[in-house]
Amino acid sequence: MIHFSEFTLNNGLKVIHHRDESTPLVVMNILYKVGARNEAPNKTGFAHLFEHLMFGGSINIPEYDRPLQLAGGENNAFTNNDITNYYLTLPAQNIETGFWLESDRMLSLAFSNDSLEIQRSVVIEEFKQRYLNQPYGDVWLKLRPLAYKVHPYRWPTIGKEIAHIENATLNDVKAFFKNHYCPNNAIMCVAGNITLERVKKLSEKWFGPIPPQPVKLIELPAEPAQEKERKKTVSSSKVPADALYMAFHSPGRRDSEYYAADLLTDILSRGRSSRLLNSLVKEQKLFSEIGAYITGDVDPGLIVIEGKVNQGVSSKNAKMGIRRELNKLMSELVSENELNKVKTKVESTIVFGEMGILNKGMALCYATFLGNTNLVNEELDLYQNVSSADIKQTAIDFLDETNCSTLNYLTEKA
């Protein structure tokens, strides 16, 4: 159970407070409702590039990191399809430094050309290091455009191609800031050893004067239902084993079927007793390893099953093995025991997730973003309410062959 209070400033900034007196620290988490989904198809990778620029100095403060480190703090950020999330931790007595730094960069960035040039090269190196210089590192560059045809989820957060990052201009940066970075498009959580009164006072003082901005929300095209299986094969000498990635359109994070879909992937691959490991790795020896998960995006996401195919096994046979397991879920009810097992696992994950104030701060902001801050406390029940029949129905609704995009890596001699 996470106790919290919420209030909204006049400029629209939503603030959540959670008190934990067992820690000497305070966390500040700020979620901006902007992600790769808000990018134009010819300017992808921009939300993430922009996240880097948020550390290049703001209107009144030339450097972000130094004053934070001087006060004993640490920070980082991440961007995904739906949001950009910034977080910092400070010793409780120094938390005002966080309010000062975060409010100034919400007010305005410095927009320096040098910063853009440097972060452009850093992000290009990141693109190479994480997506191109690793075996299977390019999987999302290939799988997304196969699974999505119209929705912006068809490109990964890093961007479709390096050229988009190379072509970003300072005007693009300014326009992006203006459209998305303002108090009425953000959610802040302050968690740790701090009173509600102090959070209110400091929020008013530092964030209160920031004017709201009109946020242009462009209606995103819904991805049309997929009608037949899509396949792509990549032959490469960079990969040492054949691999299969099967992606099925799934419920979005706010859909009621999401919880059944999440449990369904747990049944397939969570823990050493899960189905895919025991059936396809241990018994049938089709894969050397295999996993299943749901992406949890706000708009309909993907259920992904990915495995490394054993040497001497054809990808066709390996895929048939997966298909048999999926068909079982579509035709047979999961036993109460098995269902309870994955539910207990969810329960421990939630409880363990409440261990640190940073986790709690992030979870609270994300729940607010989803529309209900108290989801952090209600979700366990939503999982508990899923029945075996729900799991079967979800499998029928989403795991059909026609809903699948299959990416197959084949090794090639160099």
Partner 1 sequence: MTLNRKIAPEFGSITEFAFLPADISTTRSGVPCYFINGGNEDVIKIDFIFDAGSKRQDKTCLATATNSLLMEGTMKHSALELSDKLDSLGAFVQNSCSADDAVISLYSLNKHVIKCLELISEVINEASIPEKELYTYTNTQASRLRINQKKTDYLCKRAFHSALFGANHPYGRSANPEDYLNLHRKEIQTFFEENYSAVGLKIICSGKITEEIRRYFNQLYFRNERAQKKLPYFYLNPDSRKKHFIPHSESIQSSIRIGKRMFDRTHEDYRPMQLLNLILGGYFGSRLMKNIREEKGLTYGIFSSLESFRGDGVFYVATDVNNDSRTSAVNEIYNEIERLKQEPIPKKELEIAKNYFLGAFLRGLDGAFLQSEKTKILIDHNLKKEYYLGLFKIIKDVDSENLIYLANKHLDVENFYEIICGLQ
User: Which residues, numbered 313-352, are part of the site for partner 1 (CB under 8 A)?
Assistant: 337, 340-342, 344-345, 347-348, 351-352
Tokens representing 198 are 């102090």
Query: Judged by CB, which is closer to partner 1: 225, or 355?
Result: 355
Residue 94 interacts with partner 1 (CB under 8 A): yes or no: yes
**Looking only at residues 139 through 198 of this chain, which bind partner 1 when binding is defined by CB under 8 A?**
none
CA 125 to chain centre: 21
What is 368-411 written as a DSSP string?
A: HHHT-TTHHHHHHHHHHT--HHHHHHHHHHH--GGGEEEEEEEE
Q: Which residue from 5, 8, 113, 134 is in contact with partner 1, where contact means CB under 8 A?
A: 134
CB nearer to partner 1: pick between 290 and 367:
290
Is the CB of 44 or the CB of 89 nearer to partner 1? 89
The span of 222-230, 274-282, 368-376, 397-405 binding partner 1 (CB under 8 A) equals 274-282
> What single-letter amino acid sits at 54?
M
Cα separation, 226 vs 224, whole angstroms: 6
Nearest distance from C-beta of residue 48 to partner 1, angstroms: 12
φ, ψ of residue 286 in degrees (nearest 5): -85, -35
- Residue placing its CB nearer to partner 1 in the complex, 205 or 328: 205
Identify whether the C-beta of residue 146 lies closer than 8 Å to the C-beta of residue 230. yes
Instruction: Considering only residues 195 through 234, tell me which ones interact with partner 1, judged by CB under 8 A.
Output: 205-206, 209
109 binds partner 1 (CB under 8 A): no
What minimum distance in Å lies between the beta carbon of 263 and partner 1?
Answer: 13
288 binds partner 1 (CB under 8 A): yes
Task: Give the CA distances from residue 67 to residues 51, 72, 103, 169, 263, in Å, rounded to whole numbers and listed in that order.
Answer: 19, 9, 14, 28, 44
Residue 400 beta carbon to partner 1: minimum distance, rounded to whole angstroms: 28
How many residues are there in the chain?
414
Q: Which residues pair with 236 in a beta bridge?
A: 411
Q: How far apart are the first and last CA of the chain?
A: 55
**Closest distance to partner 1 from the beta carbon of 355 (Å):** 6
